[in-house]
Amino acid sequence: MKRLAITLALSACCGLAFAQSTPVGLWKTIDDETKQEKSYVRITDADGALTGKVEKIIDPNKQDEVCDKCTDERKGQRKLGMTILRNVKKNAEQADLWDSGDILDPNNGKVYRVLMKTIDGGRKLEVRGFIGLPLLGRTQTWIRIE
């Protein structure tokens, strides 16, 4: 009986550690220029492709803003509830890296290629948006909420 309890406890810990090493979950976004909290983004996994939606906007004065600078199907949509991460997949060669998708900056309407990497034991997520080469872009560090 004792052995079963230990096995179950270890299994639960391993499952939690694995869950923390993926970007799936709720993240607090931090503006890379002002260092202020901007929003909460929920990242979900559907058949190996990650998607991220804006779940909360911190500034109450920006709750009803729309993406008037977007040039795709998101033009005119509210930023709250908007999908900003699409089709991000796990890199086959690096366990903590996700790429091949895109990310939208709803403030300027531009869509960038994206690289995401879990750091600090899965408690933080480096999100790099870029055009062309990853060297030509900017990185934000998001903080895991759940």
DSSP code for 136: S
Q: What is the pLDDT of residue 97?
A: 94
CATH number of the domain at 2-144, please? 2.40.128.520
Question: What end-to-end distance do the CA atoms of the chain give, in Å?
Answer: 32
Quick: pLDDT tens for 86-115.
999 999 998 889 999 999 999 999 999 999
Please give the average per-residue pLDDT across 33-40, as a whole number. Answer: 91
Query: Model confidence at 20, in pLDDT bands (50, 70, 90)?
Result: low
Please give the average per-residue pLDDT across 37-64, as a whole number. Answer: 96
Q: Do 70 and 77 touch, CB atoms closer than 8 A?
A: yes
Domain ranges of the chain: 2-144
Q: What is the pLDDT of residue 95?
A: 83
Share of the chain above pLDDT 70, in %: 86
Cα-trace Rg, the chain: 17
Question: Does the pTM exceed 0.85?
Answer: no
Query: Model confidence at 16, in pLDDT bands (50, 70, 90)?
Result: very low
Q: Which of 115, 119, 135 is nearest to 127 (CA)?
A: 115
Please give the average per-residue pLDDT across 25-33, as a whole number. Answer: 91
Quick: pLDDT tens for 55-81.
999 999 999 999 999 999 999 999 999
* pLDDT at residue 44 greater than cutoff 50: yes
